[in-house]
Amino acid sequence: MASKQAASALLSKGLPWMTQASQNHYAPTGKWILGTAGMVLGMIHVGGVTRLTQSGLSMTSWSPLGSLPPMNQEEWETEFARYKEYPEWQQRQSMTLSDFKFIFGWEYGHRMLGRVVGVCFALPWMYFTVRRKIPPGYQKRMVGLLAMGGTQGLVGWWMVKSGLGDDRRSDRNEIRVRPIRLTAHLTMALATYGALVWTGLDLLHYPHNNNTKLQDMVATLSKESLRQARVLRTKSWVLSGLTFVTVASGALVAGNDAGRAYNTYPKMGDEWIPSEIMDLSPWHRNLIENTATVQFNHRILGATTALTAVTLAAIGLSPSRAAALTPQARKGLYAVATAATAQASLGIVTLLTYVPLSLAALHQLGSVAVFTSGLYLAHALRYARPALVRTATATKSSAVKSSAETVASRMAVPKR
């Protein structure tokens, strides 16, 4: 009876957020980590606008600690003259100093914001360490998160460098960074963002994150309820992985400026599969440099991600299954279906309208929304982790066995 009540408590309340410091000693740490994730999201957005305004190659040198921007007319002239030494200038000879200040401003802002995020991570980390507000076992994660952030700066410069040579791309012969490096830069940013979100969610659910507590709760659930949660958890990870691959393919579209070709949907021009899809050789160059192929791949992956999210939600939220899930898992299912459908629709509108800056920037942010909802869903279902389920089931069956033995020993008629 008591265990039935506990089961219904888990299914009706789930594993709620613990945001008050009075309930959860690590709540402030969790808020800080999620705040940092929000800043990384801001970085991704500013990076997207920097690319869309074609500002990314305006700063031709890099120092890890950064530098002040030009302060007076003379310094601006010098910076502009330096820019003119690189091939991108050849294609922009009508640019004025004031145009240059605009593109420099975006790139400078993007780089400086990266350093601000680093400081906003490192200083509170020290503070929370001294105040013993980093839970046991989490210091390694913090080191990993800082390393990911630091590497991101290096990858950014590696990307910019690929655009400073005379490497012309596509039939417009434009100077651009290598699409594969742009993809590495965006996907690494997303991975860092994802790791921050996951850690923040862990910390803001802290007492429920303790394995023993979770095991006790899991042991109250029926076998069927656990089975469903386990299957859904696996699928939520598949969806998050698929979203990640779709994001990478989107970055290849952006890097090749492939969104401004084949602006029709669902067909690409007059064809379902464009004939030039394997034009480059060796064949694998098509996957990263062929405008038709990268756009085709992104269409297929985008539609598959949206379809997977909707199917997952339809199955998980069907009346017979929804009752066996926690409220957070149900919310997660609604979120993935809504975000992925909106994102795919926005992608189509962006394509049909020849990639205006506002829609393209929104489409980039939308991809982070889809990824975040997938992570939220997977996190809400963490109680169905195989290791936890195995231990809980083993504990349950040994408890049943021992209570059966007790009953049997009580019922046994003593021999005289």
Tokens encoding 251: 């970055």
d(CA 85, CA 57) in angstroms, rounded, equals: 12
Residue 347 in the binding site for ligand HEM (CB under 6 A): yes
Query: Measured from the CB of residue 241, what is the shortest distance to ligand HEM in angstroms?
Result: 12
Residue 184 in the binding site for ligand HEM (CB under 6 A): no
Omega prior to 282 cis, within 30 of 0: yes
Q: Which one of 291, 343, 372, 373 is in contact with ligand HEM (CB under 6 A)?
A: 343
Phi, then psi, of 62 in degrees rounded to 5? -145, 135
Residue 111 in the binding site for ligand HEM (CB under 6 A): no
- DSSP 3-state of 2: helix
Q: Which is nearer to ligand HEM, 28 or 114 (CB)?
A: 114
Q: Which one of 348, 385, 393, 395 is in contact with ligand HEM (CB under 6 A)?
A: 348
Query: Measured from the CB of residue 364, what is the shortest distance to ligand HEM in angstroms?
Result: 4
Burial of 101 by CB count in 10 Å (0-12 exposed, 13-18 middle, 19+ buried)? Answer: middle
Residue 156 in the binding site for ligand HEM (CB under 6 A): no
The distance of Cα 153 from the centroid of its chain, to the nearest Å, equals 18
User: Which window, 45-53, 84-92, 100-108, 212-220, contacts ligand HEM (CB under 6 A)?
Assistant: 45-53
Residue 344 in the binding site for ligand HEM (CB under 6 A): yes
User: Which window, 34-42, 81-89, 197-205, 359-367, contacts ligand HEM (CB under 6 A)?
Assistant: 359-367
**Which DSSP string corresponds to 29-75?**
HHHHHHHHHHHHHHHHHHHHHHHHTT-TTS-----TT--PPP-SHHH
Q: Which of residues 236-265 bind ligand HEM (CB under 6 A)?
A: 243, 246-247, 250-251, 253-254, 259, 265
* Total interface residues for ligand HEM by CB under 6 A: 32
The answer to whether the CB of 262 falls within 8 A of the CB of 238 is no
Residue 29 in the binding site for ligand HEM (CB under 6 A): no
Q: Strands, DSSP E only, in 128-189?
A: 168-169, 174-175
The answer to whether the CB of 233 falls within 8 A of the CB of 378 is yes
The torsion of the CA quartet 27, 28, 30, 33, rounded to 10 degrees, works out to 180
User: Which window, 79-87, 134-142, 320-328, 357-365, contacts ligand HEM (CB under 6 A)?
Assistant: 357-365
Residue 302 in the binding site for ligand HEM (CB under 6 A): yes
Residues near ligand HEM (CB under 6 A): 48, 51-52, 186, 243, 246-247, 250-251, 253-254, 259, 265, 298-299, 302-303, 305-306, 340, 343-344, 347-348, 350-351, 355, 360, 363-364, 367, 370
